Structure 1
Amino acid sequence: MDLDVFVTAHHAEWDRLDQLLGRGRRLTGAEVDELVALYQRTATHLSLLQSTTPDPALIARLTQLVSRARSTVTGTRQASWHDAARFLTAGFPAAVYRSRRWWIPSALLSIALAAVIGWWIASHPEVQASIGASADLREMTRPGGQYETYYSSHPAASFAAQVWTNNAKAAAICLVLGAFLCVPVLWILFINMLNLGVGIGLMTSAGRLDTFLGLLLPHGLLELTAVFVAAGTGLRLGWTLIDPGPRTRRAAMAQEGRAALGMAIGLALVLFVSGLIEGFVTPSGLPTWARITIGIAAEAAFLLYVYIWGGRAVRAGEQGDVERADRSAELPTAA
C-alpha cells in the first residue's frame, strides 16, 4: 500500500471527524450520522494501517481519533449503586468460583506443606535449635508467651486495621505478581506456609498445639482462604500468559486482569472481616470453642456465598469481568 496516496485520499475525512468531535454536543442530527459514519471508516483505516504500515505517528493520531469518537458515540457511563450490587452479588463470587480449580489445590497443597514443616520441626530438636536459642523458644511458646500475647498486645481496633492492611497488601501482591509466570506467587505461598509451619512445630514441641490452633482458627480459616484465593487467581493469571486458550493472548490477559483487579477489591472486604475477628474475637475472653465456632461460621458463610451465588452467576454467563460497556474494544470496530 502506498502510504502517501492513502493519506491523501482519506485525510479530509479524518480532519472532518476531528472537527465534529471538537464541537461536542452542538451537533445536528445529520452531523451525528456523519460522525458515526466517519468513526466507522476511520476505525477501518486504523485497522488496515496497523496491519500493513509501520508508521507510529500516523497510527497514534488515528488511535486517539478513534478513541475520542468511540467515547462520543457510545457515551460514558457513571458508576452507580447498581454496579456495586452487581459486583457483590455476581461479579466477585463468580470470579472466585471460576478460579476454584486453582485456589482449592493451592490451599490443599499449602496446608499439607505447612503440616509437613510443622512435623519436621517438632520431631527434630536440632531444627528447633537452628531457629532460635532454647530460652527464646520457651519464651515464645510458654503460657502467656509471645504466641498468645501477640493478639492482645495492641488495642483491638488498631490491631484489626493493621492486620487488614497487611493481609490486603499480601493478597494484592499475589494477584499482581501472578502475571510474572506464577513464580513469585509460589514463593509468597511458601513463605506464608513456612511461617505457619514454624508456629505449628514449635507449639507442638511445647505440647501446646491446641492453644495455637485455638488462637489461629477463629480468624485464620477466612484469612488463609482469602490468601489462597488470591494466590490461585494469580497463578491462573500467570498461566493465561503461557496458555491463553482460544482467545488471543492480549484479550485473555485483559479479561483475566480485569477479573483479578475486581478480586483484589472483593478480597479486601473478606480480609476486613477476618481482621475484625482477629482484632476482637481471637484475643477475647470467649471460650475457645466459641471463638472457633465464630471462625467456622465466617468461613462457611464465605464458601456458601461463593458456591451458591457465584455458581449461579457463572451458570448465567457471568465471567467476573466488568460490564461489557466498560471494556475496551479489542480491535477497532468497522462497519
Structure 2
Amino acid sequence: MDVDVFVAAHRDEWTRLEGLLRRSRRSLTGAEADELVTLYQRTATHLSQLQSAAPDPALIGRLTTLVARARSAVVGSRRSTWRDALGFFTTGFPAACYRTRHWWVPTALLFTALVAGLGWWIADSPDVQARIAAPDDLREMTRPGGSYETYYSSSPAAAFSAQVWTNNAQVAGLSLALGTLLGLPVLWLLLQNAVNVALGVGLMASADRLDVFLGLILPHGLLELTAVFVAAGVGLRLGWTVIDPGPRTRLTALAQEGRAALGMAIGLAVVLLISGVIEGFVTPSGLPTWARVAIGVAAELAFLAYVFILGRRAVAAGETGDVAEADRPAEAPVAA
C-alpha cells in the first residue's frame, strides 16, 4: 500500500468527519447525522486497512482518535454500573474460564503429575534430601509443631490472608501478563511452584507425615492452585495467539484475547481472595482435618460448577469474555 496515495484519496473524508464532530449532535441535520455514521464506518475501515497493510504510527494514532470520537458521537458514551459488574461475574468471567478450559485443565493435570513424581523422588532419595538441607533442619521442618505446621499460624489471620492473596494475585497476574512472550515465562513460573509443592510433599512423606501436610494444604490449595492453573492456561493461550492468530490479524487477535485476559485477572483476584481467606482462617483453625478439607473441597467444587455450568451456558449464548461490543475498538473486515 502506498500510504501517500491512500491519504490523498481519503483526506477529505477524514477532514469532513472532523468538521462534523466539532458540532454538537443537536445541531446536525438528519442528512448530516447519516453522513456522520457513513464517514465513521468508512474511517474505521481505513484504520483497519492501514493497521493490516501499511502501519504508520502517526497516521494510525490520528485515525484511532478520530474513530473513537466518532463512535462516541454515534453510539453515545456509556457509564459502567453495578449491572455491568454483575454481568461480568455471572457471564463474562465464567465464559472466559470455560473457553480456555482446553489450556488450563491439561496444565492442572501435568502440574499434578509433576508434583507427584518429584515428591516421590524426594521422599525416596536420602541423597536428594541431604542436598536440600541439613538433617537437623529437615527434622525441624517436618516434626510435629515444626515450621511446616506453624507456617499457617505464624501471623494474625487477617494479615496472613492479605499477604497470601497479594502473593498469589501477583503470580496469577504475571502468568497473564507474560503470556505474550510465547508462554515461556509462564512455564517457568509453573515449574517453580511445582518444585515448591513437591518439596513439601516429599519431605513430609519421608517423615511419614504426608497426611498432616495434605490436611494443611488441601483446604485452601485446591482453589488457590486452580486459579493459578487458569491464569497459566490463559497466559499460554496468549503465547499461542502470537504464534497462530487464526483468521484474525495478529494485532486484532491479541487485542481480543488480551481484553479477555484482563477481565480474567480481575475475576481471579476475587477467587484468590476467597482462597486467601480460607488459608488465613480455616487452615490454621482448630477444626478437625476432615472438616477443613471438606471446606476446601466444597470451595473447589463450587468454582468448577460456576465455570462448567454458568460458563458453558454463557458460551452457548455467544459470550466470549471480551468487553461489551460497544466498548470494543471499531473493526472492519479487510481482504487479504
Task: Give the TM-score of the pair, scaled to structure 2.
Answer: 0.91
1:280 is aligned to 2:254: no
After TM superposition, the structure 1 = structure 2 runs for residues 142-181 of structure 1, keeping only pairs within 5 Å, are 142-181=143-182
Q: How far apart are 1:295 and its partner, in Å? A: 0.5
Kept in 1, the 8 Å contact 2:45–2:332? The answer is: no
Within 2, Cα distance between the matches of 1:64 and 1:131? 57
Return 211-220 or 308-317, whichever deviates more. Answer: 308-317
- Aligned AA (1:18): E
2:95, 2:235 → 1: CA distance? 16
Mapping 1:73-88, distance limit 5 Å: 73-88=74-89
Query: Percent identical across equivalent pairs?
Result: 70
Structure 1 position 74, deviation (Å): 2.1
Query: Corresponding residue for 1:319?
Result: 320
Q: Is the 8 A contact 1:43 1:332 kept in 2?
A: no
Map residues 292-307 of structure 1 onto 2, 5 A cutoff. Answer: 292-307=293-308
Give the corresponding residue for 1:212.
Answer: 213
- 1:265 counterpart residue number: 266
- The alpha carbon displacement at 1:238 in A equals 0.9
Question: Which deviates the most, 45-54 or 204-213?
Answer: 45-54
C-alpha distance in 1 between matches for 2:266 and 2:260: 10
Give the whole-Å Cα distance in 2 for the aligned partners of 1:252 and 1:182. Answer: 16
Task: Describe the shift of the 1:238–1:5 C-alpha distance in structure 2 as closer, same or farther (beyond 3 A).
Answer: closer
Work out the CA distance in 2 between the residues paired with 1:119 and 1:160.
30
Instruction: Give 1:5 deviation, angstroms.
Output: 8.0
Kindly report the root-mean-square deviation, in angstroms, between the aligned alpha carbons of the 2 structures: 2.5
Q: 1:271 to 1:206 in 2, by over 3 A?
A: same
The aligned residue for residue 99 of structure 2 is 98
In structure 2, relative to structure 1, the CA distance for the partners of 1:78 and 1:120 (3 Å cut) is same
- DSSP-derived class of the 1:293 partner: helix
Equivalence for 1:184: 185
For residues 52 and 293 of structure 1, the distance between their equivalents in structure 2, rounded to whole angstroms, comes to: 57
When residues 42 and 281 of structure 1 are mapped into structure 2, their CA distance, relative to the original with a 3 A threshold, is: closer
Gaps of 5+ in 2: none
Instruction: Return the alpha-carbon distance in structure 2 between the equivalents of residues 44 and 118 of structure 1.
Output: 56
Q: Name the amino acid aligned to 1:309.
A: L
> How far is the alpha carbon of 1:330 from its aligned partner?
2.5
Give the residue type in structure 2 aligned to 1:20. L
Deviations 1:44-93 (A, max 9, x none): 55566677877665554444333322221122211112211111111111
Deviation at 1:280, TM superposition (A): 0.2
Residues 198 and 4 (structure 1 numbering): CA distance in 2 closer, same or farther, change over 3 Å?
Answer: closer
The unaligned stretches of length 5 or more in structure 1 are none
Deviation at 1:158, TM superposition (A): 0.6
SS at match of 1:178: helix
Q: Deviations over 1:248-274 (max 9, x none)?
A: 322222221111111111111111110
Q: How many residues align?
A: 333
Please tell me whether the aligned partners of residues 90 and 318 of structure 1 are also in contact (alpha carbons under 8 angstroms). Answer: yes
Q: Partner of 1:17 in structure 2? A: 17
Q: Give the partner amino acid of 1:229.
A: V
1:125 alignment counterpart: 126
Contact 2:44 / 2:331 at 8 angstroms: preserved in 1? no
1:114-164 alpha-carbon deviations (Å, 9 max, x no partner) = 111111111111111111111111111111110011000100001001101
**1:141 and 1:171 mapped to 2: Cα distance?**
29
